[in-house]
Amino acid sequence: MPKSDLLHLADLSAPEIEGLIKRAAIYKKGSAERPLAGRSVGLLFEKSSTRTRVSFEVAIWRLGGLPIFLSFDDIQIKRGESIADTARVLSGYLDALVVRTYEQSKVEEWAQHASIPVINGLTDWHHPCQILADLFTIWEKRGGLKGQKLVYIGDGNNIAHSLIEGGAKVGMEIVIAAPEGFQPDPAIVKQGERMAEVSGGRVSVESDPHKAVQGADVLYTDVWVSMGQEAERAQRLQTLAPYQINQKLVDRAKDDVLVMHCLPAHREEEITAEVMEGRHSIIFAQSANRLPMQQAILELWVTN
């Protein structure tokens, strides 16, 4: 079959997402399957990482494969070798490549020139592996996804973009609560609206977080200052301060609302410690689910 890449969730169908969730559930129960035996997967990271790197390395090992970590500081790209040449070289050694970088165009360039599957481990525009794990977590806690109202609060970044795509595909209601200038890309919102029309879901953008969270089943946030945005820190903290997930905001949602954060968290900025450690938080269950979902992702993209 032709090479398939995982660059963003818009390319997946609802049955494919549901299939990944069901496979992740099997791996979480302790499946001893080793479909990557004799295979190697490169982890090419331009951005630092805790959860993505460790979960992928352990997932590859558990599936019987060999993980090879490749820092941009340690390969010849640092000395001017092109992505096109490096992708072709690595394709001769590896069975798949996970790329964590800045611009979405870079991961697409890797995919264009590699003859092996390329998996987006994070870009400034999308974070598909994270959101697949998040959907798995909600599915575990709620018994399903369709009709669940998820409100993402804060900076309309890569997490917001992938939540729109993934949530719209599976029939969720996705609301992005963000101030002007920090709202998600309009083209992705429009695309999400079209996908939601098919699935029975809904996608919308709201500037008032207190209005947005009413009736919410899930609240979700992310850091306000992502890697590469450090120079904007003061402005971001000031503008996004009204979008903090605190107990007052949580109390406006459903009584059994779930609170999520993709981590790392800056406590007392985008979320309070009280909420992170409170009864609604499933943040560390969410983090743990990165591992079984990475196993499901690797099985599908590396072996097919």
Chain CA centroid to CA 129, Å: 5
* CA 256/CA 211 separation, integer angstroms: 18
**Catalytic, out of 39, 62, 222, 280:** 222
Q: Which of 262, 280, 294, 295 is catalytic?
A: 262
Q: Which residues on adjacent β-strands are paired with residue 202?
A: 173
Is 104 assigned a catalytic role?
no
127 in active site: yes
Q: Is 194 a catalytic residue?
A: no
Torsion of CA 108, 8, 20, 25, to 10 degrees: 110
- Sorted by sequence, the CB contacts under 8 Å of residue 53 that are 6+ apart come out as 43, 45, 69, 100
Looking at residue 184, the DSSP 8-state letter turns out to be: P
- The residue from 23, 62, 100, 161 that is catalytic is 100
How do beta strands 202-206 and 96-100 pair?
Answer: unpaired
Q: What counts of helices (H) and strands (E) characterise the chain? A: 13, 9
What six digits make up the tokens of 48?
């630092």
Task: Please list, in sequence order, all residues whose beta carbon lies within 8 angstroms of the beta carbon of residue 7, skipping any fewer than 6 positions away.
Answer: 104, 107, 108, 111, 118, 120, 126, 128
Q: Which helix (H) or strand (E) holds 70?
A: strand 66-71
Of the candidates 234, 226, 222, 232, the one whose C-alpha atom is nearest the C-alpha of residue 265 is 222
Catalytic residue among 127, 236, 261, 280: 127
Q: What is the 3-class SS of 23-60, one letter each residue?
A: HHHHHHCCCCCCCCCCCEEEEEECCCCCHHHHHHHHHH
CB 129, CB 293: distance < 8 Å = yes
129 is catalytic: no
Two tokens, residue 270: 């985008």
Task: Give me the catalytic one of 134, 244, 290, 295.
Answer: 290
**Active site (catalytic) residues:** 100, 127, 130, 222, 262, 290
